[in-house]
Structure 1
Amino acid sequence: MTNTKQTARICLRILLGIVYLIAGVAHIRAPGGFLKITPDWVPFPSKVIFLTGLAEIAGSLALVFVPRLRVAAGIGLAAYAVCVFPANINHAINDIAIGGKHLSWWYHGPRLAFQPVFVWWALWASGTIEWPFTTRKTA
């Protein structure tokens, strides 16, 4: 791996770890907004929000500080990003106000479009995948 690629991976890993750490703490300290956007079909939403906060914190710490768990953390955070997508869709489609504020599609559109990037980011930053930064070997 080139030094530039390795440096980029480390920087993006740390940044993603910070993002998930902040989100995890927010899930635990201020779950109200997350509860509002959680779809009705999610069982025990308060417990789910709390546990997802713990998962985000654990995943972020493992991603940044525990090399032997880094791949597992990346896969877990990628799966998490997939699992919370219904809440993001619910928030957008049903125009759910958070703190009395309704957000426009200028917010929801990019947020929904960026969700696959979060999946890729967790997988790439953890070293689980190399795509699209690999070269194909020809026969």
Structure 2
Amino acid sequence: MSLPENLKWAFATQTSWLQTIFRILLGAALLFAGISHLTFNRAEFVAQVPYWVPLATDSVVVLSGIVEIILGLSLVVLYKYKALVGWAAATFFVLIFPGNISQYMNEVDAFGLDSDTARLVRLFFQPVLIVWALWSTGAWKAFKNRNK
């Protein structure tokens, strides 16, 4: 099977041993978070779902947990596709950011974030996760170099 020409950049990605370690750590963290969505932290995650999401809150938690498990496993085992998985993980972090904003704006206590300051500080970590996903997988570098 031959790759489409416009996707070949995603498979020529080289990363350092440090990036590999951070990619695997991010994968493990996502895997853990996904499992916790479906088990012991379910109520905490339900509390974070914005009121305007047009699905049942429990369904959103289950679906996002499944996506996190898939992304976590993919970051660990699909190393040949790491750049594409990196973009997928970064996109996921962007898509769930409204939940964190909603938690702050609606003053929802969850995960021990029981003050406006704690909830606000948490918002600054979402961009860190996005950068982590793109850097550790070499996704940004691969995309930047796609026409070379």
Q: Normalising TM by the smaller chain, what interval?
A: 0.7 to 0.9
2: distance between equivalents of 1:105 and 1:40?
A: 19
The range that moved more, 50-59 or 68-77, is 68-77
Q: Normalising to structure 2: TM-score of the pair?
A: 0.76
1: distance between equivalents of 2:76 and 2:113?
A: 34
1:36 and 1:98 in contact (8 A); partners too: yes
- The equivalent residue for 2:125 is 114
Q: 1:60 offset after TM fit, Å?
A: 0.9
- The equivalent residue for 2:141 is 130
2: distance between equivalents of 1:119 and 1:91?
A: 19
RMSD: 2.1
Q: Normalising to structure 1: TM-score of the pair?
A: 0.81
Q: 1:120 offset after TM fit, Å?
A: 1.1
Q: What is the identity percentage for the equivalent residue pairs of Structure 1 and Structure 2?
A: 33
1: distance between equivalents of 2:89 and 2:83?
A: 10
Spell out, residue by residue over 1:46-79, the C-alpha distance to the aligned partner (whole angstroms, 9 max, x if none): 2221111111111111111112332222111111
What runs of 5+ residues in structure 2 fail to find an aligned partner? 1-14, 143-148
2:50 and 2:98 in contact (8 A); partners too: yes
2: distance between equivalents of 1:127 and 1:72?
A: 9
- The equivalent residue for 2:20 is 10
Moved over 3 A (4+): none
What runs of 5+ residues in structure 1 fail to find an aligned partner? 132-139
Change (3 A) 1:94 1:122: same
